[in-house]
Amino acid sequence: MRGLHLDCGILTLRDDLPEPESRTDWTRVQVAVAGICATDRALARGYLDFRGVPGHEFVGTALDGPLQGRRVVGEINAGCGACGACATGDSRHCAQRTVLGIAGLQGALAERLALPTANLLVVPDAVDDEAATFTEPLAAALHVADDVDLAAHSRALVAGDGKLGLLCAMALQLHGCEVTLAGRHPERAALLRRPPAFARGWLEAVPAERGPADHFDLAVEATGDPTVLARLLPLVRPRGTIVLKTTAEQPAEIDLGPFVVRELRLVGSRCGRFRPALDALAGGLVDARGLVSARYPLGDGVAAFQHAAEPGVLEVLVRCTA
């Protein structure tokens, strides 16, 4: 099988990868299109000493099982099926889980992959392949609403105008939030159906401009920069909430005092459910296709990663089958 392979930061295109295993209650998928996200780029820099096929944003066709022949996307956490978390349908927090293209499970930047059949969802006809590749990050963005009462956090600041930050801004707008987007690319505000207020220079190491103190009910950290969290604290009102949407390759150092004195709430937020994301895409509530910066065939996958790492690039898609 052909696909991209990482070995502790060394990325190669290989044609000798093992086929995904056929096993009970799992489905093999022919990958049509896969995306390269910030996590994939971090793995390519050596993060987590990852070895294997990266990639977890994909759409493809089920090759076997009850969904055979259907276009599908797949939730990325594969649980053990026996623990308490799995028994409640939440493999996202199974202690023994593997994660597609991230931890112990071969990923989507190859011709084929395998996931538990229960993880797969049929893609509506109204959602084309490119839009469907955004199901996973959009689900993560929509998951903020599962963690925070947005009716009580209507003034929202999204830190980061990369792909995930833009999707978080879109998701918050769907819930009626008044969104300010903080980043370095003001033109990206136009990618949202309702362009948000844009703040430039607030979150730099030496701010070009000071943001309004105690103004926001909610701040969503989507930069992946561990130093940004401390800069968000004075912008959030007492008893407001900060949501961390990204992991970082380096640990953060932060004074915890303001969390106590100002009674701020810090919430970690990771993977979301795919059904709300597919519904939003199918209903035209979110159009993420404007976030695609480039498209490559699988044979040029190494070049696709190089392009994805360039400044200012949003989403790079890889077509894994002709």
Q: How does the average pLDDT of the chain come out, rounded?
A: 96
Residue 184 has pLDDT above 90, yes or no: yes
Q: For 114-152, what is each residue's pLDDT tens digit? A: 999 999 999 999 999 999 999 999 999 999 999 999 999
Question: What is the predicted pLDDT for the residue at 208?
Answer: 84
What pLDDT, on a 0 to 100 scale, did the predictor assign at position 249? 83
Residue 222 pLDDT > 90: yes
Mean pLDDT score, 268-275: 96
Residue 22 has pLDDT above 90, yes or no: no
**Banded model confidence at residue 313, pLDDT cuts 50, 70, 90:** very high
Q: pLDDT higher for 308 or 289?
A: 308
Residue 62 in this model has a pLDDT that exceeds 90: yes
The predicted pLDDT at position 248 comes to 83
The pLDDT, as a whole number, for residue 41 is 96
Please give the share of the chain, as a percent, with pLDDT higher than 90: 92
144-268: CATH topology: Rossmann fold (3.40.50)
Rg of the chain, C-alpha, whole Å? 19
CA separation for the pair 241, 270 (Å, rounded): 16
pLDDT tier, 252 (very low <50, low <70, confident <90, very high otherwise): confident
In the chain, where the domains are located: 3-139+272-319, 144-268
User: What would the mean pLDDT of 165-183 be, rounded to a whole number?
Assistant: 98
Could you tell me the pTM of the whole model?
A: 0.96
**d(C-alpha 33, C-alpha 132), whole Å:** 9
Mean pLDDT for the stretch of residues 305-310: 97
Statement: residue 164 has pLDDT above 80: yes
Q: Which of 94, 89, 119, 107 is nearest to 27 (CA)?
A: 119
Does the pLDDT at position 108 exceed 80? yes
What span, in angstroms and rounded, lies between the C-alpha atoms of 51 and 57? 18
Q: How far is CA 45 from CA 12, 280, 310, 311, in A?
A: 13, 33, 13, 15
Query: Measuring CA to CA, how many Å separate 43 from each of 36, 106, 145, 230?
Result: 11, 13, 28, 25
Whether 7 has a pLDDT exceeding 80, the answer reads yes
User: What distance in Å separates the CA atoms of residue 163 and residue 239, rounded to the nearest whole number?
Assistant: 28
Check if 3-139+272-319 and 144-268 are the same fold.
no
Secondary structure of 262-297 in HEC code, one letter for each residue: CCCEEEECCCCCHHHHHHHHHCCCCCCHHHEEEEEE
Taking residues 253-265, report their average pLDDT. Answer: 95
Q: In sequence order, which ranges of 155-265 are alpha helices (DSSP H)? A: 163-174, 228-232, 257-261
Q: What is the pLDDT of residue 89?
A: 87
* For the chain, percent of residues with pLDDT exceeding 70: 100
Domain 3-139+272-319 has CATH 3.90.180.10: yes
